[in-house]
Structure 1
Amino acid sequence: MTSSRVAPATTLRPEGTAPGERMLAVEAPVAVEVDGLGYAVMMMTPADLPAFATGFMLTERLADVAADVADIDVFEGAAGWIVRVTLAERCRGRIHDRVRHRTSDTSCGLCGIAGLEQLRRPMPGRPPAPRTTRDALFAALASLRDHQALNRATGAVHAAAACDADGRIVAACEDVGRHNALDKLIGTLALAGTPADFILVTSRLSFEMVDKALVGGVAMLVGVSAPTTLAVEHAREHGLTLVALARSDAMLVMDDPHGCYPLAAAERDSAHQRSG
């Protein structure tokens, strides 16, 4: 599966032009079929598709554990890629409840949802308390670029990284779609049986990113960009520690249900004065 491709390009400068080339991230349609029924067409990077399919089945609640995905068949067709998933017998009825043919672009992460009432989907349980120190959060952020080979080559893809309590990145996945990268990561962790203390993503924190992290069973979700209102509400409702706007000099804790990152006395007094 090819993740990048070279394309000709022309560089424009005030003094003139110059021919050249640019490495581009491959974006391709990937049709997901579940038990013979079309479920979604994702515009994504066609790599790590078995891991994506596993994570996608989990985050869509069509499967509960990796073992519920009985078989995955991946092949390339004339118009794009096709991923055919066979679910375990006990999960077969779920696809018939929510199946519909649809097309999704890279900004959508709620495939198979027919109405707003279906946003309130069951959760596997409340997240544990994070075991991660402030130093570990900054350490993970500092090493993230080392796990973004495709983005270094193209500058056009998102990453989702699984980190341990010390801030070491134990797995990372990339895709042109932020939701796809996170599904790939969740599938990778589920297939390997590898636990993670927190997930670090290179995108904004939206409702569906929080929802997928909750399915992944991690204690905390950290994003380099800002959160949405619904993301914060969803995290607070289900007890997920949420950290946004992660930069090398500062991060913003949006939800801290376990009180793991309390303000120091001086910070607390300052915050109280500002709010007053």
Structure 2
Amino acid sequence: MMGTRAHSSHPGLSVQPDRAVTVHRTLPEEVAVAMVFDGSSAAVMMATPADVQDLAIGFALSEGIVTAPDQLDGYELAEHPNGLEARFWLREDRAEALAARRRFMAGPVGCGLCGIDSLAAAARDLPKVGDGPRFTRDEVARATDMLRDQQPLHDQTRATHAAGLLLPGQGITLVREDVGRHNALDKLIGAMARQGMDPATGAVVMTSRLSVELVQKCAIAGVTTLIAVSAPTAHALRLATDAGLTLAAFARGDGFDLYSNPYRIVDEVSHVA
């Protein structure tokens, strides 16, 4: 067990067209993390063992187990030979919400919906997000580059995703990293909650494609704008449109694709068919 270390060094052989040389690479750690509420495991996921409390709080909020951090109590992180347990106790009225949305997600980090008990749970209705802040075209276009500048674990390993909070006129002010994109987003949501920051005041920036579960988590958290370096899925776009989220994809360098609710981007370029 590597405990809560986020990375470690390992030897390898770098094979090139004209030679093979011994190298040492820094690799991200990936451990099983169990989300335990009132003594019962609600989910098990593979995650980077850093900012685990942020991950657990963000998961509880984005999955609707709680609606505010003060409904969670008595956090502790327990290490086991096979992984970690993030333990919380729930306020009595929230225990029912946990029972209604029980998940057992032992599976790869690439699937944010593994193990959901019913298809109805995966297709849950999303709340309409609020009006939210406006962003300039330049802020959206540069968002993923700004995020890239604040990924120390990725700099060391080249193997992690990140989620960042973009505030109008301030740039990226908070970042969390993980081997899984869903985990990185949950960590960011949890970090905002612990610091008393309102997700509706900024945009979330992701290093990944925009999948259904990322849109779901953002809508439930109250995020109004979601920006990513890659594309949304078609169904993620439908959900974002219905929930009122602004989706900006392929944000790289000078431009981006704008797919839904464009009014939050205040200086859009003229559309040419």
Q: Same fold (TM over 0.5)?
A: yes
For residues 70 and 57 of structure 1, do their structure 2 counterparts lie closer, same or farther at Cα, with a shift above 3 Å needed?
same
> How far apart in 2 are the matches of 1:25 and 1:73?
23
> How far apart in 2 are the matches of 1:22 and 1:261?
44
The residue type paired with residue 132 of structure 1 is: F
SS of corresponding position for 2:149: helix
Partner of 1:221: 226
Question: How many percent identity over aligned positions?
Answer: 37
Matches within 5 A, 1:21-40: 21-40=24-43
> How far apart in 1 are the matches of 2:82 and 2:246?
41
- The answer to whether residue 184 in structure 2 is matched with residue 176 in structure 1 is no
For residues 84 and 224 of structure 1, do their structure 2 counterparts lie closer, same or farther at Cα, with a shift above 3 Å needed?
same
SS of corresponding position for 1:137: helix
Partner of 1:79: 82
- The answer to whether residue 251 in structure 2 is matched with residue 246 in structure 1 is yes
> How far apart in 1 are the matches of 2:172 and 2:264?
24
The residue type paired with residue 150 of structure 2 is: H
User: Which structure is larger by alpha-carbon Rg, 1 or 2?
Assistant: 1
The residue type paired with residue 230 of structure 1 is: H
- Render the CA deviation track for 1:26-84: whole Å, top value 9, x for unaligned: 11111111211122111110110111111000111100011111222112111111111
- Render the CA deviation track for 1:162-215: whole Å, top value 9, x for unaligned: 010125111000000000000000000011112341010000001110111112
Partner of 2:263: 258
- Render the CA deviation track for 1:99-118: whole Å, top value 9, x for unaligned: 25441311122366311212
Aligned length: 268
For residues 60 and 7 of structure 1, do their structure 2 counterparts lie closer, same or farther at Cα, with a shift above 3 Å needed?
same
Q: Which runs of 5 or more structure 1 residues have no equivalent in the other structure?
A: 272-276
Contact 1:132–1:167 (Cα < 8 Å) also in 2:
no
Matches within 5 A, 1:93-242: 93-110=96-113, 113-121=116-124, 123=126, 125-195=128-198, 196-242=201-247
- The answer to whether residue 2 in structure 2 is matched with residue 4 in structure 1 is no
Q: How far 1:240 sits from its partner (Å)? A: 0.3
Contact 2:143–2:251 (Cα < 8 Å) also in 1:
no
SS of corresponding position for 2:255: coil
For residues 140 and 263 of structure 1, do their structure 2 counterparts lie closer, same or farther at Cα, with a shift above 3 Å needed?
closer
Q: TM-score, normalised by structure 1?
A: 0.91
- Render the CA deviation track for 1:107-161: whole Å, top value 9, x for unaligned: 1223663112123435454232431111222343332122100000000000000
Q: TM-score, normalised by structure 2?
A: 0.92
Matches within 5 A, 1:48-63: 48-63=51-66
